[in-house]
Amino acid sequence: MSKQCWELPVEWKKFRYRGKGLEELIDMPMDELVKFLNSRARRSLTRGFSARHRRLLEKIIEARQKLVNECKETVIKTHVRDMIILPVMVGLTISIYNGKEYVPVKITPEMIGHYLGEFAPTTKQVKHGEPGLKATRSTLFVALK
């Protein structure tokens, strides 16, 4: 039996999701896990994974094995924003594409049941500055504060 060099942090061991601990959720088969998720996620997962989701899940399982057995943390890049966060993903870093760049997201237990895309916003908040090139003549003479 191989020695595991990575284990769950103490605060994650206290985590409960609908009455189940994180270790129980990780070991739970998919059909039982689906019963604990909300209706939107439950419907999505009972329909099965698409090819994109399966490829991402394979990469996640491979990265998880590297993290647990070899202590090598790998960052997984993905465009799949509609993947539901499963307990297997907890502890990994996944870079999610937001349309311009990859946003690295460290998966924590509180994220279980949410979509990956929720943690990589596609728009930035608009911050207006001073008038720039091609501004109208009247905006050039705004009083300075």
What are the tens digits of pLDDT across the range 120-141? 999 988 887 766 666 666 655 6
Residue-wise pLDDT for 105-117, tens only, equals 999 999 999 999 9
Q: Which of 6, 144, 139 is nearest to 74 (CA)?
A: 6
Q: Categorize the per-residue pLDDT at 1 as very low, low, confident or very high, splitting at 50, 70 and 90.
A: very low
Spell out the domain ranges in the chain. Answer: 10-121
Is the pTM higher than 0.85? no
For 3-32, the pLDDT digits (tens) are 566 677 777 778 888 888 888 888 999 999
The CATH label, of 3.40.50.2020, 3.40.630.10, 3.30.860.10, 2.60.40.1840, for the domain at 10-121 is 3.30.860.10
Determine the Cα–Cα distance for residues 133 and 139; give it in Å rounded to an integer.
11
User: Residue 35's CB: how many other CB atoms inside 10 A?
Assistant: 9
